[in-house]
Amino acid sequence: MQLEVLPPIREVAYNWQCCYCCHGWMNLATSPACEQCGHLRCGSCTYSYS
């Protein structure tokens, strides 16, 4: 009997923190830019996963 190997569960980011001014946490779906400094969300920003 072979066991089926399932792909890993993908984590989904919900919130993010600005890498420029450290303001956070903002909703990923509703805030494309920092509410405090206007920095556009980028790969250097911090994201929370669930």
pTM: 0.73
pLDDT, averaged across the chain: 89
pLDDT for residue 1: 64
Full residue range of the structural domain in which residue 24 is found = 13-31+39-49
- Position 32 scores a pLDDT of 96
Q: Which residues, including other chains, have CB under 8 Å from residue 41's CB and lie 6 or more apart? A: 16, 18, 28, 31, 32, 33, 34
Q: Would 19 be classed as within a structural domain?
A: yes
pLDDT of residue 37: 98
Each residue of 14-38: pLDDT tens digit? 999 999 999 999 999 999 999 999 9
Residue 7 forms part of a structural domain: no
Pull the structure tokens for residue 42. Answer: 């980028």
Residue 23 falls within a domain, yes or no? yes
Domain count, the chain: 1
Q: Are 15 and 29 in contact (CB under 8 A)?
A: no
Whose tokens are 């920003």? That residue is 45
